[in-house]
Amino acid sequence: MNNGLIPIYIYNSNVLFLPGIESSRLYAPLACDAGVCEKQLWEPNGDDLAGQLANTTSGESINPSIYTKPNDVIDNAYVPVKGNVYKSFIEDMAGLVTSGHSSMGGSPI
């Protein structure tokens, strides 16, 4: 009988945190100089670096060699009033794993 209520099932759940396009560090290759073979474009260190992330009028990257690294999400993003939102979220998720409330490995995707 459907009484209009949504049933609640108790089981382990997964959390998929997709921080978004602005929350993955982005890099571009460089000619190696003193062992440095890349530059970080995002989080930006200036407008000229952020400008390299622009798209063409058709929506394609002006720099197709831009890449990200596995597990290299931005782990700090300070928002006034709320504080460091990514850091606190990552800590909360790690706490769930430690306390046994989640089987999640805590690794970013």
pLDDT over 70 percentage in the chain? 61
Contact 94, 106 (CB under 8 A): yes
Alpha helices in the chain (DSSP H): 47-51, 85-98
Domain ranges of the chain: 21-98
Residue 61, pLDDT > 70, answer yes
DSSP 30: E
Residue 74, pLDDT > 60, answer yes
pLDDT over 90 percentage in the chain? 5
* Cα gap 68→72, rounded to integer Å: 7
For residue range 1-53, list pLDDT tens digits in order: 556 676 666 656 666 666 555 677 889 888 887 777 888 888 766 667 778 88
* Cα gap 94→99, rounded to integer Å: 9
